[in-house]
Amino acid sequence: MPIERVAIIGGGLCGWLAASMLARKVPDVQIIVLSAQGEERGLGIANGGEVLLPQDIETVAATGWRGGDLLKHCSASFVLGTAMSGWRGDGMPAFVPFGEIGAPLGPVPFHQLVAVARARGHAVNIANYALGALCAQSGRFAPPRGDDASVLATLAFGLTVDTGRLRDLLRADARRQGVTEAGMWTGGADREGTTITALHTAAGDGVDTDLIVDASGADSPLAGAFEGWAQWFPFDRAITALRPARSVPPLYTDLAALADGWQAFVPLAGGVAETVVSGSAQGPDVQSFRTGRQRRAWEGNLVRIGAAAAQHDPCAGLQLHLALADAARLVALFPANRDCRAEALEYDRQWRETSDCAFDYTALRLARNGAAGPVWDALRATDLPERTQYRHDLYAGTGRVVLHDGEVFETPGWVAQFEATGILPQRADALANALPTQAITAHLGKVREAMLAGLGRLPPHATLLAEMHA
């Protein structure tokens, strides 16, 4: 029996993302979106601005919208990485760029060269060797052309988006593709065994369905067995605000460690989305949230995506990325038949891998840093899951980066985060150690020169924006 009808629960950004992608990729299937309580928290905490990572820009194109459309319609702005302050014990700020950092010397990765150079008494700041960091610092940028083989190709950019505007854009698009809306879901459902056959609506007429996509956030009534993460992600209050800003938006997001939490700024065209996350905030604007994940994302004919499946502490800015990855995975594994056990198993395997990797990245940022204060001291004293600690130890020992299938970041992203949180390898690997100092410093010099030459060819970001909006 083929799948004919899909009901999506949640008319927030998360739900419309799935609706829009499915409508284009499986046009023969009827798609119905239901509104739900808390749907604005489908990605996690409700936030006026979110980040599309460089790899997401291609994924989001499956909705029919390209980066250029987002710049025009979603107050999108270019970002090249994150400036992190207060996360290192020595008080030094750091920049975590997207894209490459430096260049390898033969078989020796760049960060190993840095480790050797430092061990031999040379101070090296990796931000000086990453074009993304240099651009962000100096406010120069233009997106590299696809066929550029020069140093500019090491530059990778993400986009910030106004989440409300992106939601409206996707909704309008999905409706043009034939997606319909069925009003408010009551939380009730008809079941045959473990299969959900219909969802109850406030209007009274139920919606029959073959497959249900739950995009209504962590508090969904359809939630199942849950694994909580409070011991590693102790912050559970967020305050978000979208403020206007008239200056040229900076080319980076900003993340500062506070005494009892953290604060992030996501630049948008004409505004900035601000988030403060802590364990103590009080007041009417406070969103409280619970981190953790479902034991299974795809159960029977129910697929949970976004925060309905897993909610991480959002300090790594991955909320939109993870929901987008879920929607894309659902498209890639969209079942041809109602018997979808093979698809469900594979979906869950891939989802858990991605979720594990995002957890590791976030947990190492939060619980293995040099931020000052008793809250952070307690986090540093917490045992991490074995897999997460293993990544830390392997890097802290000899700078090895462990990479799994579900990785959000490749080696440069991990290295930059470790640097930004003050985790430095105790020693470099043997191949790097076999290199003479002169060869290393000459290479570093060459890389730096190439980066600066590349930077010089880029226009000021303000010029680019003026041209775009002219």
Partner 1 sequence: MTAQVERGPLRRVVIAGGGTAGWMAAAALSRLSGNGVTQIVLVESEEIGTVGVGEATIPPIKTFNAMLGIDEDEFVAATQGTFKLGIEFAGWGREGEAYLHPFGAYGADISGVKFHQIWLKLRAAGIPLPLDDFNMSATAARMGKFDRPGADPRSALSQLDYAYHFDAGLYAGFLRTYAEARGVVRHEGRIAHVRLDGESGHIAALHLDDDRVIEGDLFIDCTGFRALLIEGALGSAYEDWSHWLPCDRAVAVPCARGGPGAGPLLPYTRSTARSAGWQWRIPLQHRTGNGLVYSSRHMSEDDATATLLGNVDGEITGDPRPLRFVTGMRARPWVKNCVALGLASGFMEPLESTSIHLVQIGISKLLALLPDRSFPAHERDEYNRLTAIQWAQIRDFVILHYHANARGDSTFWRECATMPIPETLERKLALFRSTGRLFRYDDELFTDANWTAVMLGQGVMPQQHDPLADTLDQPQVRDMALRMTDAFRRTARAMPAHADFIAQHCAGRPI
Site residues (CB under 8 A) for partner 1?
24-28, 62, 107, 331-337, 341-343, 345-346, 349-350, 390, 393-394, 397-398, 400, 402, 404-405, 427, 429-431, 433-436
Smallest distance from partner 1 to CB 146, Å: 13
User: Which two three-digit tokens encode residue 166?
Assistant: 């992106």
Nearest distance in Å: CB 288, partner 1: 37
Instruction: Say how far apart CA 379 and CA 41 lie, in whole Å.
Output: 26
Task: Please say which residue, 81 or 335, places its beta carbon nearer to partner 1.
Answer: 335
Measured in whole angstroms, the distance separating CA 207 from the mean position of its chain's CA atoms is 33
CB atoms inside a 10 Å sphere around CB 120: 12
Question: Which sign does the torsion angle of CA 80, 58, 270, 239 carry?
Answer: negative
Angle of the 386-398 helix axis to the 341-367 helix axis, nearest 10? 50
Q: Which is nearer to partner 1, 404 or 457 (CB)?
A: 404
Q: Which is nearer to partner 1, 202 or 336 (CB)?
A: 336
Least distance from partner 1 to the Cβ atom of residue 112, Å: 10
Give the nearest distance from C-beta 41 to partner 1 in angstroms: 30
Residue type, 258: L
- What 90-94 contacts at long range (C-beta under 8 Å, 24+ apart), as own/partner pairs, is 90/370, 90/422, 94/127, 94/416, 94/419, 94/420
Work out how close the CB of 367 gets to partner 1 at its nearest, in angstroms, rounded to a whole number.
19
Quickly list DSSP for 214-271.
E-S-TT-TT--SEEE-TTT----EEEEEEEE--SPPPSSEEEEEETTEEEEEEEETTE
Least separation in angstroms between CB 335 and partner 1: 8
CB of 296 to partner 1, least distance (A): 15
| Between 25 and 165, CB nearer to partner 1 | 25
**What is the spatial distance between Cα 286 and Cα 383, in angstroms, rounded to a whole number?**
29
306 φ, ψ (degrees, to nearest 5): 65, -140
Considering the complex, state which of residue 259 and residue 430 has its C-beta at the smaller distance from partner 1: 430
Q: Which two tokens stand for residue 382?
A: 């917490």
Considering beta carbons, is residue 239 or 402 the nearer one to partner 1? Answer: 402
Strand partners, 272: 243, 267
Q: Judged by CB, which is closer to partner 1: 295, or 404?
A: 404
Smallest distance, partner 1 to C-beta of residue 312, A:
22
- Phi then psi for residue 181, to 5 deg, are -120, 145
**Residue 173 CB: number of other CB atoms within 10 A?**
19
